[in-house]
């Protein structure tokens, strides 16, 4: 192919994608890859699902766009009703968007407009965690606890308070001990008190962590304690389920594992599952009703809720249900996690394996006892991804620990992955880990 005029985040050049089916992808030279990260934890039901494609084709023949101020659409109405049936009671209001950052922006703007409407104008600070990732637009980036991404833009953003993410494995604490959950939740309460509760609008966090923490699972009691603290101080609770929502963890929402309901939810990624740019902000009636009655929600995006994206999203949810894909994610995820645990026994530089369902990660360390990271100069996360890619396995990685040091690898294949395919993924992973071992311990 002639010179490419495209650019994205780095100057690494990648092969051109020819086609994708199920968990497999092929480039234009016929080379096959396993999509071991579902793209960026997006393609939850696998590629080219014929029923989703057919639903989109049918919708395309009717209409592909109807502006929200002029028309509601049937796919939009049906999808919103379906989403409301899958979210905690009372969270009945669905605001469609086209991606995760838009969902997070919508969530914080609804929270703020609600506060203004009910006479709490002093509340504007949104506390978040570090590390965390909430999106690339300036509002969502201000909530993101990941220095390399935020630093250049600091003068352009309102700095927001941060609390540490509950990384019990790094702090040598027992994730199953409720005292651990209480310990991290207490840091949130201390931060609210330090900032002044009357100035704090909301707390946002990822119930099961995404790329920034590497599938971090909160310690026992944390989710419930956070809810109680927010209630005690009149702080709204926002769950960023952009990555953990949509079924990948084995339940529709990550927070469903703890039975905790927030005030606002942001979802995207697996919600459109790669078939259409789709996301949603789902809010409690209690917040939306006063805002709508008080002059309307002053926020929106032109493509939001377009019928083609909604038809795709509805078909995705129907496929998940018909194929019992959440159950499969839970079952196959358990198998994959336990096999990653076996790899941890074999390779001393794997320090932790974590996650829920098919949102799984392992972390590289130089010393498992101290959990010290591999030397930064090794650029381990980058090299490992390239080694796996050379084997035909796509995995996702990030430098963790607030972007300064440490590396983790996310292994998150689609929810349709079979037991045999888990073995295929493990064989490729093992070959890549063998090559990596030669690099870290020559």
Binding interface with ligand PLP (CB under 6 A): 40, 99-101, 104, 133-136, 206, 210-211, 240, 242-243, 268
Does residue 59 contact residue 308 with C-beta atoms inside 8 Å? yes
- Quick one: 310 or 387, whose CB is closer to ligand PLP? 310
Report the nearest approach of ligand PLP to the CB of residue 98 (Å). 8
Q: Give the nearer residue to ligand PLP in terms of CB position, either 349 or 381.
A: 381
Cβ 209 to ligand PLP shortest distance, Å: 8
Q: How far is the CB of 101 from ligand PLP (least distance, A)?
A: 3
Q: Determine the Cα–Cα distance for residues 185 and 196; give it in Å rounded to an integer.
A: 17
Q: Are 210 and 244 in contact (CB under 8 A)?
A: yes
Question: Residue 69 region, left (φ>0) first, then alpha (ψ -120 to 50), else beta?
Answer: alpha
Nearer to ligand PLP, 104 or 201 (CB): 104
Task: Scan for tokens 């002044």, then name that residue.
Answer: 196
Residue 413 near residue 358 (C-beta atoms within 8 A): yes
Angle at 36 between CA 32 and CA 39, to 5 degrees: 90
Q: With respect to ligand PLP, which residue has the nearer C-beta, 225 or 281?
A: 281
For the CB of residue 86, give the shortest distance to ligand PLP in the complex, in Å: 18
Nearer to ligand PLP, 55 or 410 (CB): 410
**CA dist., res. 99 & res. 242, Å (int):** 8
Q: Would you give the distance in Å from CA 63 to the centre of its chain? A: 30
C-alpha span between 342 and 321 (Å, rounded): 32
Q: Are strands 407-411 and 350-356 parallel, antiparallel or unpaired?
A: unpaired
* Shortest Cβ 175–ligand PLP spacing (Å): 20
Let me know: does 107 contact 287? Beta carbons within 8 Å.
no
**Looking at beta carbons only, is 211 or 264 nearer to ligand PLP?**
211
Please report how close the Cβ of residue 308 comes to ligand PLP at its closest, in angstroms. 18
CB of 212 vs ligand PLP, minimal distance in Å: 7
Task: Say whether 19 sits in a helix, a strand or coil.
Answer: strand
Residue nearest to ligand PLP (CB): 100
Q: How far is the CB of 238 from ligand PLP (least distance, A)?
A: 11
Of 40 and 84, nearer to ligand PLP (C-beta) is: 40
Please state at what angle helix 178-195 crosses helix 222-232, rounded to 10 degrees: 30
Question: Which C-beta is closer to ligand PLP: that of 135 or that of 357?
Answer: 135
Helix, strand, coil shares of the chain, percent, nearest 5, are 45, 15, 40
- Provide the token pair at 421: 């395919």
* Phi, psi angle pair for 301, to nearest 5°: -130, 140
Q: Is 100 helix (H, G, I), strand (E, B) or coil?
A: helix
């Amino acid at each position: 192919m002639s010179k490419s005029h495209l650019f994205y985040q780095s100057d690494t050049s990648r092969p051109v994608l020819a086609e994708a089916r199920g968990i497999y992808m092929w480039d234009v030279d016929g080379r096959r890859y396993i999509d071991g990260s579902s793209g960026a934890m997006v393609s939850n039901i696998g590629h080219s699902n014929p029923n989703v494609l057919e639903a989109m084709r049918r919708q395309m023949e009717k209409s592909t766009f109807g502006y929200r101020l002029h028309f509601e659409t049937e796919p939009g109405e049906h999808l919103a009703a379906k989403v409301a049936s899958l979210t905690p009671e009372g969270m009945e209001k669905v605001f469609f968007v086209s991606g995760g950052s838009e969902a997070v922006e919508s969530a914080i703007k609804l929270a703020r407009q609600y506060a203004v409407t009910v006479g709490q104008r002093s509340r504007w600070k949104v506390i978040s965690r570090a590390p965390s990732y909430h999106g690339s637009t300036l509002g969502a980036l201000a909530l993101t606890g990941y220095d390399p991404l935020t630093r250049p833009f600091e003068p352009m953003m309102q700095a927001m308070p941060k609390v540490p993410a509950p990384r019990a494995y790094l702090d040598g604490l027992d994730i199953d001990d409720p005292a651990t959950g209480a310990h991290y939740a207490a840091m949130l309460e201390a931060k609210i008190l330090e900032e002044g509760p009357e100035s704090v609008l909301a707390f946002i966090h990822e119930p099961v962590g995404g790329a920034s923490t590497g599938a971090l699972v909160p310690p026992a009691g944390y989710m419930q304690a956070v809810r109680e603290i927010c209630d005690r101080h009149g702080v709204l609770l926002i769950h960023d389920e952009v990555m953990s929502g949509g079924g990948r963890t084995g339940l529709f929402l990550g927070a469903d594992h703890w039975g905790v309901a927030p005030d606002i939810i942001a979802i995207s990624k697996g919600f459109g599952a790669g078939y259409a740019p789709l996301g949603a902000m789902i809010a409690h009636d209690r917040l939306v009703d006063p805002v709508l009655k008080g002059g309307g929600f002053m926020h929106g995006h032109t493509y939001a809720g377009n019928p083609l994206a909604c038809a795709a999203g509805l078909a995705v949810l129907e496929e998940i249900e018909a194929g019992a894909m959440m159950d499969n994610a839970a079952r196959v995820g358990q198998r994959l996690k336990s096999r990653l645990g076996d790899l941890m026994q074999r390779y001393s530089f794997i320090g932790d394996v974590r996650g829920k369902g098919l949102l799984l990660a392992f972390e590289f360390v130089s010393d498992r006892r101290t959990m010290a990271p591999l030397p930064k100069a090794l650029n381990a996360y980058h090299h490992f991804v390239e080694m796996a890619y050379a084997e035909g396995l796509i995995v996702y990685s990030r430098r963790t620990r607030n972007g300064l040091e440490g590396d983790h690898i996310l292994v998150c294949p689609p929810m349709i992955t079979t037991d045999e395919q888990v073995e295929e993924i493990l064989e490729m992973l093992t070959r890549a880990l063998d090559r990596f071992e030669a690099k870290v311990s020559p």
